[in-house]
C-alpha cells in the first residue's frame, strides 16, 4: 500500500509514509471487509459512513504538514484511522464525531493501539469546530462541506492549515486554507468525493449516502 498507492503517487513526506506503514489499517475496517483493508479505495464502516481511501488519508495528512506536537482538530472521527495516523506522527488530536457508536469504537481501537494518550474523541456537531479549544495549528475535515466554514478558518492559529473537501455532494475539491495573519490563502488540491458533513455549516441531515466516498476521483 505504502509503496504503490502512496509513494508511487507522489506522497513524499516520510513521516506520513512511516506512520501509515505502522498503523494496522485492518483494525479499523469491519471484520467482513478485512481482506480489503489495503485496497486502493474507501470502505464502508458502521452508521452508513466510510473509512477514506489510503491515498486520500496520506494526501490530507501531508497537506497539514504534520510534525510532533502539532495541535490538530479533526472533524469526522469515523473509524479513527486518520486520527491514528496523526497520533503516530506525534500530533495531539482532538477529534469530533456526530455518531456516538463510531466515536466509542474508535476510542477502543486507539486505546488498544496505545495511541489514546494523543487523541481525544468527543461526540457532537463539529461543523462549527471547537471555539472553546481554539486556536489549532491544523484542522482536518474528513467529510464534505458546501463551502469553507468561516467558523473553522477563525479557529486556525497564524500559519495554521485547514484541509477540507468543498463542493456539492457528488464531487468536491480538496481545499487547503492557510492562515497568514488576518488573511487566508486558498489552494485547490484536486477532485475527491466524501460523505457529507452534516450539521450547521454542512449539509442537511438527509444528505444522500454515496457508496464509496472518501477517495480521489
Ligand atoms: N476520518 C475518518 C473518515 C470518516 S468519514 C476515518 O479515518 O475513518 C466522515 C465522518 O464524518 C463520518 O463518521 C461522519 O459521521 C462524520 N461527520 C459528518 N458530519 C459531522 C459533523 N458535523 N460533526 C462531526 N462528525 C461528522
Summarised one tens digit per residue, pLDDT across range 198-211 is 999 999 876 545 55
Q: Residue 216 falls within a domain, yes or no?
A: no
Q: Residue 163 falls within a domain, yes or no?
A: yes
* Paired residues of 141 in beta bridges: 75
Number of domains comprising the chain: 1
198 ligand 1 Cβ < 6 A? yes
Considering only CA atoms, which residue is closest to atom 4 of ligand 1?
78
CA of 148 to the centre of ligand 1 (A): 16
Q: Residue 150 falls within a domain, yes or no?
A: yes
Q: Residue 129 falls within a domain, yes or no?
A: yes
pLDDT tens-digit map of 112-134: 999 999 999 999 999 999 999 99
Confidence class for position 217, pLDDT limits 50, 70, 90: low
Question: First and final CA of the chain: distance in angstroms?
Answer: 18
153 vs 178: CA distance, rounded Å = 9
CA of 115 to the centre of ligand 1 (A): 19
pTM of the entire predicted model: 0.95
- Active-site residue, 79 included: no
What is the CB-side half-sphere exposure of residue 14 using CA atoms within 13 A? 0
What residue numbers bound the domain in which 24 lies? 2-211
Q: Please give the grid coordinates belonging to residue 176.
A: 487547503
**Which residues does 171 contact at the CB level (< 8 Å), separation at least 6?**
191, 192, 193, 217
52 ligand 1 Cβ < 6 A? yes
pLDDT tens-digit map of 10-47: 999 999 999 999 999 999 999 999 999 999 999 999 99
Q: Please give the grid coordinates belonging to residue 119.
A: 487523541
65 vs 47: CA distance, rounded Å = 30
Answer whether residue 190 shows pLDDT above 90.
Answer: yes
Segment 180-201 mean pLDDT = 96
Q: Residue 217 falls within a domain, yes or no?
A: no
The active-site residue out of 47, 52, 79, 118 is 52
Segment 62-72 mean pLDDT = 98
Q: Please give the grid coordinates belonging to residue 39.
A: 485496497
Residue among 26, 41, 78, 121 to mutate when testing ligand 1 (max atoms within 8 A of CB): 78
Asked if 153 and 131 count as a contact pair (C-beta separation under 8 A), the reply is: no
Mean pLDDT of the chain: 95
Residue among 46, 98, 130, 204 to mutate when testing ligand 1 (max atoms within 8 A of CB): 98
Q: Residue 147 falls within a domain, yes or no?
A: yes
Q: Please give the grid coordinates belonging to residue 212.
A: 464509496
Q: Residue 178 falls within a domain, yes or no?
A: yes
Element spanning 175, H or E: strand 172-180
97 ligand 1 Cβ < 6 A? yes
97 vs 110: CA distance, rounded Å = 15
CA of 194 to the centre of ligand 1 (A): 9
CATH of residue 50's domain is 3.40.50.150
Amino acid at each position: 500500500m505504502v509503496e504503490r498507492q502512496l509513494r508511487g503517487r507522489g506522497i513524499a513526506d516520510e513521516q506520513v509514509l512511516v506512520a501509515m506503514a505502522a498503523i494496522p489499517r485492518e483494525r479499523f475496517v469491519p471484520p467482513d471487509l478485512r481482506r480489503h483493508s489495503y485496497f486502493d479505495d474507501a470502505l464502508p464502516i458502521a452508521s452508513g459512513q466510510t473509512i477514506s481511501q489510503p491515498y486520500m488519508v496520506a494526501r490530507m495528512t501531508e497537506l497539514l504538514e504534520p510534525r510532533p506536537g502539532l495541535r490538530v482538530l479533526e472533524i469526522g472521527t469515523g473509524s479513527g484511522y486518520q486520527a491514528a495516523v496523526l497520533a503516530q506522527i506525534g500530533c495531539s488530536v482532538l477529534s469530533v464525531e456526530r455518531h456516538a457508536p463510531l466515536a466509542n469504537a474508535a476510542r477502543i481501537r486507539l486505546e488498544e493501539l496505545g495511541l489514546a494518550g494523543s487523541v481525544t474523541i468527543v461526540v457532537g456537531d463539529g461543523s462549527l469546530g471547537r471555539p472553546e479549544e481554539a486556536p489549532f495549528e491544523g484542522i482536518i475535515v474528513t467529510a464534505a462541506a458546501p463551502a469553507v466554514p468561516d467558523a473553522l478558518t477563525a479557529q486556525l492559529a497564524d500559519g495554521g492549515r485547514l484541509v477540507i473537501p468543498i463542493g456539492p455532494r457528488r464531487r468536491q475539491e480538496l481545499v487547503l486554507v492557510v492562515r497568514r495573519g488576518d488573511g487566508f490563502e486558498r489552494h485547490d488540491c484536486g477532485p475527491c468525493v466524501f460523505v457529507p458533513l452534516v450539521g450547521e455549516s454542512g449539509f442537511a441531515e438527509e444528505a444522500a449516502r454515496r457508496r464509496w466516498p472518501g477517495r480521489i476521483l
